[in-house]
Structure 1
Amino acid sequence: MSIEDRATGLTPARAWLAAFAAALAALVGGSLVLRNLVYDRFVWQYFWGPVYADAHNAACAVKQGGETRLLGSDACASVAADAVVARPGYTVVSEIGYAVTLIFMLAGVLFLLRGLELGEDRTFFFALVPFMFFGGALRVVEDANNVAAATEGVEQAITYPLNALIISPVIYFVVFAITLATLVVAVFLDRRGVVDSYAPLVFGAGTVYLLATVGYIYALVTSGLASRTDAGFYPQVTVAVVLLSLLIAVAVFGALRRYEPGVVAGVGLIGFVVLFGHALDGVANVLAADWWQVLGLPFQYYPKHPVNSFIIDVTDRVLPPNVSDTIGDAWPFLLVKILAATAVIWLFDEEIFEESPRYAILLLVAILAVGLGPGTRDMLRATFAI
């Protein structure tokens, strides 16, 4: 702690806590004082409203005259102009909000890891990889739950308010809490000499969570959804997505090591995993959107994120129809993902790892999560035709 910190009592961790408390107070205070502006037209419309509508499998949720209604798609198109409408899914505003929250929370996690004296070695990164898959798989449980709610004769396995726990953004905090609890227990056992290292225990626990979640999805589909909907089991999707993602990651990482070794000198094998994670996100989107018939899927998938939709829309407008019909219009998203991942790993040179290894590894965990999590969700949705 610096002399100035000792004099003021304001360490970086305390400053973060103060900022968190101030932001929370402003949000709560604004929601109470300026309810219509702050809560209704910001918090509810872009963050909680979409969760509420999604949890009830509604096309939209509408706040008007002090009442909240859940509507179908036709009714959503004809609501009054002064009504506040929230639709399931992401918007530009919500994605910016999530990005800002992620950056802020990363700083808090950094202070937490410092307190636990964790995160400086690369095994920490690899130990958390299964949790990225687990987060995406857990989100598919809600997708399957929504299909059940919309299917006559099939009951939801998880009803409101419990299903809100596995809808964005609430699911991010749920997965974080599970990950943190697992990590703390593993570190406790490590430091008590019960296990030789916390990393294998964390990796194994994440793998168990993932397999249990995928098994639960399979049980949901085979126990009722498959007989009444198009849901089923299409393992060729997962095989194709994983193999193509691995091939792309191997090719790009190998080319970088041979022709531009400085790009991957700092990150090492972490760079390969980051490339794989973002390739999986891109490949899952491309196959589900443009090659669904080749894979034998019963229907086409459309992107749930504004960025994906924007790229596809631009490509569709730019390319001649005959070209789009032949090669599809989702492939530029895969290209963007690979280029972005390559740029990111290039930024993490050896100097960053020497000066701030914990911060570098934590950022790379977050970067992998925003690729591998959504990619896993898209891959498993297509695998089970949900």
Structure 2
Amino acid sequence: MQILQVLPEGSTLPPVAYLVVLVLALAGVALALRRVGPRVTDRVVVSFAPWMVVGSSCYVLYQVHDTSSFLLKPFFSSPTVYVSVAVLAGAVWAASAAAGLPADRWRPPSVPSVVGLSGAVLAVVVVGWALAMSAPDLEPVWPGVALAVAVVCAAAVWVAIRRLVPATRVTGAVGGLCVLGHALDGVSTAVGIDVLGFGERSPFSRAIIEFAATLPTASLLGAGWLFVVVKLALAAAVLVLLASYVREEPGEGYLLLGAVAAVGLGPGAHNLLLFTIAS
């Protein structure tokens, strides 16, 4: 079932039976979280970062490898895979919070350690599976370059925005994750477009890249540089706009920033893994 072309190309919905299972599971996890009422801290939100990688990596498997005989394959399509992973991560969160674990420290036992470590283990398994299925034809050089450049860009923007707008310091580690996620998405997309010859599936991103390709700078800088600038500017703007909200309503503010971070980190991690195994 194709989705309207507001979403990236290739977005589909699974068969009705899978949708029913997914909706019921999501409702169950949402109800459990509502009853438990877990405390939301910046560390709790950051601990979901590995789960964002899990979702994007599962989608890479769905795209690249033949898993037609795999019963759970429909749960790996986009955007379904992100809801599927959210159900699993939410269940882990609800269980750890219901056990009375603290939410304000990394040292185990705690909610951030349980959520983060479980997501990290699953991420290693999924990424390792994808790499193993593609070995020995792996191309990690340019994805590695993209990762390094993204980290440098994110660090520069993060330091600059905290100095220029001190109020953004209240966003804590979630703010840093937000900047890193969007830097990774922007830089990896630029490398994919200008170096590796990949196309852009998102219509909004594609419009920015196509516009950059018409500028005089295209012959020197390529078509992806403007997308990097836009992503970093948007991430910085979000931190400035949400700083006061995070201060007044920390729980809701951190969750909102976490959602913004996921929109960048998910596609960015997807790009790195896809370019590594499909270049």
Q: CA deviation at 1:111?
A: 7.8
Whichever residue aligns with residue 367 of structure 1, its letter is V
Q: CA deviation at 1:278?
A: 0.3
**Equivalent residue, structure 2, for 1:200:** 113
Contact 2:175/2:239 (8 A) holds in 1 = yes
| Equivalent in 213, 219, 223 of residue 325 of structure 1 | 219
Q: CA deviation at 1:110?
A: 8.2
Provide the C-alpha distance between the structure 1 equivalents of 2:165 and 2:101, rounded to a whole number of angstroms. Answer: 41
**Equivalent residue, structure 1, for 2:90:** 180
Q: CA deviation at 1:178?
A: 1.3
Contact 1:131/1:210 (8 A) holds in 2 = yes
Higher RCO (Cα < 8 Å, 6 or more apart): 2
**Equivalent residue, structure 2, for 1:261:** 166
Contact 2:46/2:173 (8 A) holds in 1 = no
Q: CA RMSD in A?
A: 2.8
Q: CA deviation at 1:288?
A: 1.3
Provide the C-alpha distance between the structure 1 equivalents of 2:233 and 2:68, rounded to a whole number of angstroms. Answer: 39
**Equivalent residue, structure 2, for 1:55:** none
User: Do residues 359 (structure 1) and 279 (structure 2) align?
Assistant: no
Contact 1:278/1:337 (8 A) holds in 2 = yes
Provide the C-alpha distance between the structure 2 equivalents of 1:179 and 1:348, rounded to a whole number of angstroms. Answer: 25
1:211-230 pair list within 5 angstroms: 211-222=124-135
Q: CA deviation at 1:158?
A: 3.9
Whichever residue aligns with residue 165 of structure 2, its letter is E
Q: Deviations over 1:45-82 (max 9, x none)?
A: 426x9xxxxxxxxxxxxxxxxxxxxxxxxxxxxxxxxx
Q: Deviations over 1:260-281 (max 9, x none)?
A: 323x132133211110000000
Provide the C-alpha distance between the structure 2 equivalents of 1:198 and 1:214, rounded to a whole number of angstroms. Answer: 24
Q: Deviations over 1:203-249 (max 9, x none)?
A: 00110011100110012112xxx6xxxxx212223321221111111
User: Do residues 134 (structure 1) and 54 (structure 2) align?
Assistant: yes
Q: How many pairs are equivalent? A: 258
Contact 2:184/2:264 (8 A) holds in 1 = yes
SS in 2 for 1:268: helix
| Equivalent in 160, 165, 179 of residue 275 of structure 1 | 179
Contact 1:266/1:348 (8 A) holds in 2 = no
Whichever residue aligns with residue 210 of structure 1, its letter is A
Q: Deviations over 1:283-305 (max 9, x none)?
A: 1001111123xxxxxxx111111
Provide the C-alpha distance between the structure 1 equivalents of 2:228 and 2:117, rounded to a whole number of angstroms. Answer: 30
| Equivalent in 228, 231, 236 of residue 334 of structure 1 | 228
TM-score normalised over the length of structure 1: 0.61
Q: Deviations over 1:102-159 (max 9, x none)?
A: xxxx9x98886453222432221121111111111111111222xxxxxxxxxx2343
Whichever residue aligns with residue 378 of structure 1, its letter is N
1:340-379 pair list within 5 angstroms: 340-349=234-243, 351-379=244-272
Provide the C-alpha distance between the structure 1 equivalents of 2:58 and 2:11, rounded to a whole number of angstroms. Answer: 18
**Equivalent residue, structure 2, for 1:307:** 204
Whichever residue aligns with residue 141 of structure 2, its letter is Q
Q: CA deviation at 1:189?
A: 4.0
Provide the C-alpha distance between the structure 1 equivalents of 2:132 and 2:180, rounded to a whole number of angstroms. Answer: 28
Contact 1:90/1:306 (8 A) holds in 2 = no
Contact 2:56/2:82 (8 A) holds in 1 = no
| Equivalent in 123, 146, 169 of residue 241 of structure 1 | 146
TM-score normalised over the length of structure 2: 0.83
Gaps of 5+ in 1: 1-43, 50-86, 92-105, 146-155, 227-231, 293-299
Whichever residue aligns with residue 184 of structure 1, its letter is A
Gaps of 5+ in 2: 13-25, 103-107
The percent of aligned pairs where both chains have the same amino acid is 28
Provide the C-alpha distance between the structure 2 equivalents of 1:206 and 1:122, rounded to a whole number of angstroms. Answer: 17
Whichever residue aligns with residue 315 of structure 1, its letter is A
**Equivalent residue, structure 2, for 1:46:** 3
- Larger gyration radius, structure 1 or structure 2: 1
Contact 1:119/1:361 (8 A) holds in 2 = no
